[in-house]
Amino acid sequence: MSVDTPEPSGPAPGPGAGPQRSSGGTPLDSRRSLLRNAFQLAGFGIGMALLVWCVRIVLSEENRSTLERLRDASAWEILLLLSVAASSIILNAVIFWATIRPLHTIRLSDMIATNGVCTFLSYLPFKVSVIARWIIHGRRDGVPTLTIGTWFLVVVGLMVVTIVPMGLAFVRPEGAGWWWWAAILGAIALAHWVAMAAARWVRGERGLDRMRAMRVPRAMLEHELFRRLHDGADMAGDGHAAWISAGARVLDVGGFTLRIGVAASILGVGLTVEETLLIGLAYFVTGVVSPFGTVGTREASALVFAHSAGVSAAEAQEAALITAVLLVTVTDAMTSFLGAGFGLAWLRADRLLLGRNALADPPPPRDRPPGNPPNRDDGAPTISGEDRAGPNQPHSR
């Protein structure tokens, strides 16, 4: 993403000032940029090749019986796959909406539209979806650039806190019943409580006092970058943000697992609950972390994890399992395309691209000047009095 910077306003350098550096950067920067772009394109090409490989297996003669079962799928099964895929767009929008609420007001409908566009763009390399989200929230919603970065870090951090305890599902004792799944949910809740407590310990003026007592350099505490990163403590330490994010993420991962399970059931692939969760997690996490886009990478990752974990269907029904994963991908692509169309229309993409705010009366940010108490009548989560910004931590966010 290119960021326009203003021209320097000082006097022109004298004749002895030496050569001026070009605004385009050094030749080394250009080579690095070229290598990064080549790396991204190569990764995207590999993903496309993996997708073609999966499609060839699905369309092979040996997989004809599986495709016959797909033709016999009922309308409600396909509708269920499409509905759960659409719910994923909404749930992820809820996560972004909840985490930014302590600092900034963005309407949930706007966040759903933004997430619809970005979900579709996630198929492309260069993390175009992240860049698009950055531009939309910066230009349209007025969220400062560094705050957007902190916001994304908080979303990722809460996602990790949710997903890591799910690993307990793969060490379930023999014969353990529903109580083991309840224990996993308890572990997720405990992990969020610890993360929230840690964030509350460092947030606000009291948190800054604690860091000063630990002899953290004053210059660092007053730096603009640190101030924006410190905003993350307000987000992660807010109870509404943390618990809404946890609930939505659990439902989202459950949705991926359900989609894998429904697709496998349609095609007659035998999977246990743990195996379905493993494949669903691999599919989901790869889509989040892949720098090359999601094309081909999610499908290959799901198959690799299934083989490495000893999933019986990965050996005995490999072609059918790949078909099931591709069925999930196709329904996901369909809902993403429709979501992107809705999002572009809702956000008025024409005005956004021209740099004009698409809202006639955008909701005011939750930012407030130093020392002003939050408005407790707006129904939004607030920061406790002891952690509210003090005179040395302005809330001009």
How does pLDDT run across 322-350, given as a tens digit for each residue?
889 999 999 999 999 999 999 999 988 77
CA distances to 142, 170, 280, 374 from 226, in Å? 20, 39, 36, 22
Q: What's the rounded Cα separation, in Å, for the pair 312 and 286?
A: 22
Higher-pLDDT residue of 315, 344: 344
Query: For residue 2, is it within any domain?
Result: no
For residue 9, is it within any domain? no
CA-based R_g, the chain, Å:
24
How much of the chain, in percent, has pLDDT values that exceed 90? 34
Within a domain: 3: no
Name the range with the highest mean pLDDT among 63-67, 121-125, 192-196, 313-317.
Answer: 192-196
Q: What is the pTM of this model?
A: 0.77
Within a domain: 378: no
Question: Which H helix or E strand runs over 189?
Answer: helix 178-202
DSSP letters spanning 286-319: HHHH-TT-STTHHHHHHHHHHHHTT-HHHHHTHH
Identify whether 265 is part of a domain: yes
Does residue 371 lie in a domain region?
Answer: no
**pLDDT bracket for residue 310 (50, 70, 90):** confident
Answer for the pair 310, 274: CB distance below 8 angstroms, yes or no.
no
Instruction: Please state which of the ranges 163-167, 222-226, 321-325 shows the lowest mean pLDDT.
Output: 222-226
Q: What is the pLDDT of residues 280-293, one digit of tens each?
A: 898 998 888 887 78
CA distance 29 to 156: 28
Q: Is the pLDDT of residue 137 over 90?
A: yes
pLDDT in tens, 173-184: 776 778 888 898
Q: What is the pLDDT of residue 16?
A: 40
What number of other Cβ atoms are within 10 A of residue 293's Cβ? 23
Q: Is the confidence at residue 10, as pLDDT, over 50?
A: no
307 in a structural domain: yes
Identify whether 230 is part of a domain.
Answer: yes
Q: Residue 62 belongs to what domain range? A: 33-356
Q: How many domains does the chain have?
A: 1
Q: Dig out the tokens for 380 from the structure.
A: 């939004």
Lowest mean pLDDT among 46-50, 194-198, 301-305, 368-372: 368-372
pLDDT at 351 over 80: no
Mean pLDDT of 387-395: 47
